[in-house]
Amino acid sequence: MDPLYIITNYGPRFLDGLLMTLQLTGLGALMAGLLSPFLALARTSAPVAAQWPLRLYISFIRGTPLLVQLFLVYYGSGQFRPLLQDWGLWNFFRDPFNCALFTFVVNSTAYQTEILRGGLMGVDNREIEAARAVGMSRFRILQRVSFPHAYRIAWPALGNEVILLMKASALASVVTVFDLMGRTRQVFSRTFDFSSYLWAALIYLFITVVFVFLWRQAELYMTRHIRAGNTVTQGKQHHG
């Protein structure tokens, strides 16, 4: 075991893998984050009968291993190759990075939708009634009342989901994407030096620590008007 040898000789490789992991996680979480508010809204407001495809999708994603979902997309698309070629989609599904990213977006969207649905349901009905009473349109209420409050409620859980996605992105290495895990396996198979795994563990923990800090800062920023020390809010509370 020689940790110094590993990091001096293979440091650039680890850095390369780290960037790939950040890219997969960041893009995946962001794209899922763009889709989830619409689905969460459908999940809370659409007619119950219209919700069953959405419920089925969420249940399927939550009830099956991510590895199976990834293989279903990456290897499964091969079964429909002629069809995908006709539609011009084959080049997309041939690339392991695209398949991994696609799977992560589909997976994380389901989880984020459920989290955000919980947030939307946690918004006090009286806030919405008040907004209606001052004459806001339905869209304005969503934009200024429901979603801002729902995101404040859901923020810690959404952070957990991003961390889970970051850890899950290690699965991309199984379909030959060279993320941090993929690079680590490469280095280990060349050197048989156990410290390559220890470096990977340190880097993963480092990502988590930095992310938790940044996420917490964002939460503090989002809740700055309702935290203790804000005299305006405290005054309001005293007067009931």
Partner 1 sequence: MRELFAFGETGWGDELLAGLAVTLQLGVAALLLGLLIGFAVAWASLSRHLVLRCAGFAYSTIMRGLPELLTLFVVYNGIGLLINKLSAFVSPDSASPEFSPFAAGVLALGMVFGAFSSEVLRGAFNSLDPGQSEAGKAVGMNTRQVFMRIKLPQAWRFALPGLGNLWINLLKDTALVSIIALNDLMRMTKVAVGATKQPFTFYLAAALIYWALCVLSEFGLDRLEKRANRGIVNR
Identity of the residue, 43 or 185, whose beta carbon is nearer to partner 1 in the bound complex: 185
Cβ partners under 8 Å of residue 74, min gap 6: 93, 96, 99, 100, 103, 175
Which residues from 151-170 bind partner 1, rule CB under 8 A? 163, 167-170
- From the list 207, 198, 225, 218, the residue with the least C-alpha distance to 164 is 207
Q: Is 77 a residue that touches partner 1 (CB under 8 A)?
A: yes
Q: Is 217 a residue that touches partner 1 (CB under 8 A)?
A: no
Q: What backbone torsions phi and psi does residue 42 show, to the nearest 5 degrees?
A: -60, -40
Q: Is 174 a residue that touches partner 1 (CB under 8 A)?
A: yes
Instruction: Using the rule CB under 8 A, give the single segment among 78-86, 90-98, 105-113, 218-226 that binds partner 1.
Output: 78-86
Are 109 and 35 spatial neighbours (Cβ–Cβ below 8 Å)? yes
Instruction: Using the rule CB under 8 A, give the single segment among 4-12, 107-115, 194-202, 230-238 that binds partner 1.
Output: 194-202
Among 30, 34, 46, 67, binds partner 1 (CB under 8 A): 67
Q: Is 72 a residue that touches partner 1 (CB under 8 A)?
A: yes
CA–CA separation, 26 vs 165, rounded Å? 9
DSSP string, 124-146: -HHHHHHHHHTT--HHHHIIIII
Q: Is 108 a residue that touches partner 1 (CB under 8 A)?
A: no
Q: Is 184 a residue that touches partner 1 (CB under 8 A)?
A: yes
Measured from the Cβ of residue 39, the count of other Cβ atoms closer than 10 Å reads 21
CA–CA separation, 109 vs 186, rounded Å? 31
Q: Tokens 């390559």 identify what position? A: 196
Q: Is 210 a residue that touches partner 1 (CB under 8 A)?
A: no
Sign of the dihedral through C-alpha 65, 67, 73, 77: negative
Instruction: Using the rule CB under 8 A, give the single segment among 6-14, 97-105, 116-124, 193-201 that binds partner 1.
Output: 193-201
Min CB(191)–partner 1 separation in Å: 12
CA–CA separation, 77 vs 69, rounded Å? 11
Binding positions for partner 1, rule: CB under 8 A: 59-60, 62-69, 71-72, 75-80, 163, 167-171, 173-174, 181, 184-185, 188, 192, 194, 197, 200-201, 204-205, 208-209
